[in-house]
């Protein structure tokens, strides 16, 4: 799919409560969890918040252990303000919330049901206020730059990382034995790879895989090993080579900005802050608000992740697209957002609720309130194609109801059923990705 960015919406800066309280002792905020977030993005967002608060001489210092750091600033009166960031993996963030040793959890995967139950005393961590999608990331499959392969499908990935396929020749390449590189068990990156690739096919990770706590170290290892393959968050590709991925009947997709922003790319994922509803730390709430603002999302983009700002992209019509869809693509531009729904529900998920505000702001700022927006719904495969088409249109109508509340008059609502899947329909994760609503503007 050929995409070209046409224009960018800058979101208004959310108000950050000022001044925030400065503790007499200890840290103002403790963040634990994902290495993907905590290695660079989290500290960068913390620095941005501190500077927005008027703190001076903001800088990072090494923490007490590996993958830990302190971000330090001073008030105008010279009083130090410290925020601690520990990046040992997503699961450690939820453990720290339970122990009371963190105020905010950073995670590169959604909270698990077991963790949700475990943390019930802190409130509902799936509520819109608690679960905050802060960025979109693509899980890149990386090879050594000398490897001639350019495309792999998710079934091949499962077989490779399970050890069933053990030579590059078996994949049509060259180089002999395949060397596997993977993140460690605490990592949300590993959890995501396991959930998207291994678990749906009932395959565990091969014991021969070399494991890494650091994303950067893993990427560097692959880039120095002609027989290596690994998986990594997008900002950590570094000198390695990312390949295009196919899932089920989807088109081959590289981890490029536009395909990750819409979450069409098969190995796209969301990055989260989880903010406990009870005993909320004001610095934690301020960091969440700052992160969702235009300044915060600019920091997200500067750190190599995909910001949630809305863009319009031109989509090149392809012969494989339905004719009616090609007609839309010829006359309109697609916004870089897909509305998705809670599992087994017609309700918009937490990211979709945030995206509604972004889309409405875009439509207003570009004077497209009156019959210049078309919603296009898709779904997962059903035994009856007509039922799939109806359900896909009903999803689009659910988005329409929300847009109408903000004064948007729709041009059209279309449902394309199970056509144009972006993921395999064989697992829940794939079906959820296929149940989506696109926004097109004229």
Phi, psi of 307 (to 5 degrees): -70, 160
The 10s digit of each residue's pLDDT in 145-182 is 999 999 999 999 999 999 999 999 999 988 999 999 99
Beta carbons within 10 angstroms of residue 382's beta carbon: 16
The 10s digit of each residue's pLDDT in 378-428 is 998 888 889 889 999 999 999 999 999 999 999 999 999 999 999 887 777
How far apart (Å, rounded) are the C-alpha atoms in residues 176 and 227? 7
Domains in the chain (CATH in brackets) are 10-134+270-302 (3.40.190.10), 138-258 (3.40.190.10), 310-441 (3.30.1330.60)
Per the DSSP assignment, residues forming a β-bridge with 414 are 376
Q: Which of 341, 365, 337, 368 is nearest to 431 (CA)?
A: 341
Contact 138, 306 (CB under 8 A): yes
Q: Which of 306, 323, 315, 435 is nearest to 380 (CA)?
A: 435
Predicted TM-score (pTM) of this structure:
0.83
User: What are the structure tokens assigned to 311, written together?
Assistant: 């863009």
**What pLDDT is recorded for position 192?**
86
- For 68, 123, 340, the CA distances from 308, given in Å and listed in that order, are 27, 26, 14
Contact 374, 328 (CB under 8 A): yes
**What pLDDT is recorded for position 18?**
61
What's the burial of 63, exposed, middle or buried (CB within 10 Å: 0-12/13-18/19+)? middle
**What pLDDT is recorded for position 428?**
77
**What pLDDT is recorded for position 7?**
32
CA 152 to mean position of chain CA atoms: 21
Per the DSSP assignment, residues forming a β-bridge with 271 are 135
Q: Which of 180, 184, 155, 154 is nearest to 167 (CA)?
A: 180
Question: What's the angle, vertex CA 350, arms to CA 344 and CA 354, rounded to 5?
Answer: 140
Per the DSSP assignment, residues forming a β-bridge with 348 are 341
- β-strand 244-246 against 373-378: which pairing, if any? unpaired
| DSSP assignment of 402-417 | HHHTTTPBPSEEEE-T
How far apart (Å, rounded) are the C-alpha atoms in residues 212 and 199? 20
How far apart (Å, rounded) are the C-alpha atoms in residues 395 and 377? 6
Residue ranges in the chain whose pLDDT is less than 70: 1-18
* Ramachandran assignment for 420, one of left (phi > 0), alpha (psi -120 to 50 degrees), beta (any other): left
How far apart (Å, rounded) are the C-alpha atoms in residues 86 and 31? 6
């Amino acid at each position: 799919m050929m995409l070209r960015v046409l224009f960018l919406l800058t979101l208004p800066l959310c108000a950050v409560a000022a001044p925030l309280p400065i503790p007499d002792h200890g840290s103002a905020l403790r963040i634990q969890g994902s290495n993907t977030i905590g290695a660079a993005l989290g500290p960068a967002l913390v620095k941005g918040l501190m500077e927005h608060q008027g703190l001076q001489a903001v800088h990072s210092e090494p923490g007490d252990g590996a993958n830990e750091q302190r971000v330090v600033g001073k008030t105008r009166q010279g009083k130090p303000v410290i925020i601690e960031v520990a990046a040992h993996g997503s699961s450690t963030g939820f453990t720290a919330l339970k122990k009371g040793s963190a105020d905010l959890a950073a995670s590169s995967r959604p909270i698990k049901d077991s963790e949700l139950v475990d943390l019930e005393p802190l409130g509902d961590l799936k509520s819109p206020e608690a679960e905050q999608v802060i960025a979109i990331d693509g899980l890149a499959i990386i090879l050594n730059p000398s490897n001639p392969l350019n495309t792999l499908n998710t079934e091949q990935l499962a077989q490779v990382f399970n050890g069933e396929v053990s030579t590059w020749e078996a994949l049509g390449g060259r180089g002999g034995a395949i060397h596997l590189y993977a993140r460690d068990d605490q990592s949300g990156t590993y959890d995501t790879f396991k959930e998207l690739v291994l678990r749906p096919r009932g395959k565990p990770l091969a014991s021969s895989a070399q494991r890494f706590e650091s994303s950067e170290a893993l990427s560097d290892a692959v880039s120095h090993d002609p027989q290596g393959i690994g998986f990594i968050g997008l900002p950590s590709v570094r000198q390695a080579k990312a390949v295009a991925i196919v899932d089920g009947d989807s088109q081959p997709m590289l981890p490029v900005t536009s395909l990750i922003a819409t979450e069409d790319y098969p190995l796209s994922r969301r990055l989260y802050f989880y903010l406990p509803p009870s005993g909320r730390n004001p610095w934690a709430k301020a960091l969440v608000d700052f992160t969702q603002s235009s300044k915060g999302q600019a920091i997200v983009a500067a750190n190599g992740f995909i910001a949630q700002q809305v863009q319009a992209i031109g989509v090149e019509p392809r012969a494989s697209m339905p004719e009616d869809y090609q007609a839309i693509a010829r006359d309109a531009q697609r916004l870089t957002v897909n509305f998705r729904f809670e599992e087994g529900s017609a309700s918009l998920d937490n990211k979709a609720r945030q995206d509604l505000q972004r889309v409405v702001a875009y439509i207003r700022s570009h004077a497209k309130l009156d019959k210049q927006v078309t919603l296009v719904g898709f779904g997962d495969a059903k035994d009856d194609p007509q039922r799939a088409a109806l359900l896909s249109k009903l999803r689009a109508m659910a988005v329409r109801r929300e847009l109408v509340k903000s004064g948007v008059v729709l041009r059209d609502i279309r449902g394309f059923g199970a056509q144009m899947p972006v993921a395999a329909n064989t697992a829940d994760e794939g079906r959820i990705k296929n149940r989506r609503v696109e926004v097109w503007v004229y």
